[in-house]
Amino acid sequence: MDLVRYLADKVDIINDALAERLVKEGEFPESLHKAMHYSLFAGGKRLRPVLALAACEAVGGGFEAALDAACALECIHTYSLIHDDLPALDNDSLRRGRPTSHIVFGEAVAIMAGDALLTVAFDIMGRAQGADAARVLKALSEIASAAGSTGMIGGQVVDIESEGHSVDFPILEYIHIHKTGKLILASVRSGAIMAGANDAQLACMTRFGEAAGLAFQIADDILDVEGSSEDLGKATGGDAKKGKATYPALIGIVESRRRAAELVERAVEALDGFGERAEPLRAIARYVVSRKK
């Protein structure tokens, strides 16, 4: 299959859907809505929403059924980047090739733009048109739990608190599984839920999402060491400078690469029963470890 074409099509669809569901940039208060749009339309890969649409298709649904969940996932991912970049957290000034939100809008508006993106994620799901309400609630619960204190935020807290300390492997895995993995898993599962997946299908999606999510984060760690700042649109080598726990730092580049490849194989195998419809999901998993940015 033509993954590049698939991704480009889906990214367009997601961008249009986000633009439709968000308050317009010029609306009052302007600084807030400008800041929300600035980060949300900064050219992100849209990996999470694409995964949601692809998982929905893999189970046999039309991707439209997962569009609200997809938009919610991207709003949550974007808010987490804005807050992560704040001076009190990672203190990053560059993201996706542009100055970070607090550099452009000041800390107060950046904090509140993040809050507003997190809030609008659930607003979008609450307004989900024409969908089965029980399905929407189930997907929403999946996403909220993955984004919360025992999911993504838990991972962020441990990541921040581990900076500059020596970190053992269980803690490194906790950070990666929670900070990135949980929301990727929720992307796949919520997309499948919106297609009406049964328990057996959801179990396969869980195996796929867990493996692909961890592979993605290991690949991210490797890119921070080996990627070019130009490709990534942010400073590289930042993890090492901050004393961050990473796979390459703990088990070396070669072993990191081996493990990422192994996880991708595991992810692809989990979809054995899904046939042709799951080809985009499989291709995305493979792409995740081969990407340059």
Work out whether 114 is an interface residue with its own copies (CB under 8 A).
yes
Euclidean distance between CA atoms 49 and 171, whole angstroms? 28
Which one, 7 or 120, has the nearer CB to its own copies?
120
CB distance 68 to 281 below 8 Å: no
DSSP letter at 142? H
Q: Site map for its own copies, 8-27, x if CB under 8 A?
A: ---------------x---x
Query: Count of alpha carbons within 13 Å of 228, Cβ hemisphere only?
Result: 3
Q: Site map for its own copies, 116-155, x if CB under 8 A?
A: x-xxx-xx-xxxx----xx-xxx-xxx-xx-xxxx--xx-
Residue from 50, 52, 70, 111 binding its own copies (CB under 8 A): 111
CB distance 214 to 172 below 8 Å: no
Residue from 18, 56, 67, 109 binding its own copies (CB under 8 A): 109
Residue from 157, 225, 253, 261 binding its own copies (CB under 8 A): 157
Euclidean distance between CA atoms 192 and 147, whole angstroms? 18
Q: Site map for its own copies, 23-62, x if CB under 8 A?
A: x---xxx-xxx--x--------------------------
Work out whether 106 is an interface residue with its own copies (CB under 8 A).
yes
Residue from 1, 4, 8, 88 binding its own copies (CB under 8 A): 88
Residue from 10, 46, 77, 83 binding its own copies (CB under 8 A): 83
Copy the structure tokens of residue 213.
């999510």
Which one, 23 or 223, has the nearer CB to its own copies?
23
CB-count exposure of residue 1 (10 Å: 0-12, 13-18, 19+)? exposed
Q: Which residues contact 241 (CB under 8 A, 6 or more apart)?
A: none
Residue from 15, 100, 156, 217 binding its own copies (CB under 8 A): 156
Q: What Rg, from alpha-carbon coordinates, does the chain have?
A: 18
Number of residues that bind its own copies (CB under 8 A): 52
Q: How far is CA 269 from CA 45, 161, 208, 286, in A?
A: 24, 36, 8, 12
DSSP letter at 94? E
Euclidean distance between CA atoms 282 and 261, whole angstroms? 13
Of 124, 119, 125, 97, which Cα lies nearest the Cα of 39? 97
Which one, 59 or 111, has the nearer CB to its own copies?
111
Least Cβ distance, residue 147 to its own copies (angstroms) = 5
Least Cβ distance, residue 270 to its own copies (angstroms) = 25
Query: Of residues 230-259, which lie at the interface with its own copies (CB under 8 A)?
Result: none
Which one, 181 or 248, has the nearer CB to its own copies?
181
Q: What one-letter code names the amino acid at 54?
A: A
Residue from 2, 12, 20, 161 binding its own copies (CB under 8 A): 161
CB distance 80 to 156 below 8 Å: yes
φ, ψ of residue 95 to 5 degrees: the values are -150, 130
Binding residues for its own copies (CB under 8 A): 23, 27-29, 31-33, 36, 79, 83, 86, 88-89, 106-109, 111-112, 114-116, 118-120, 122-123, 125-128, 133-134, 136-138, 140-142, 144-145, 147-150, 153-154, 156-158, 160-161
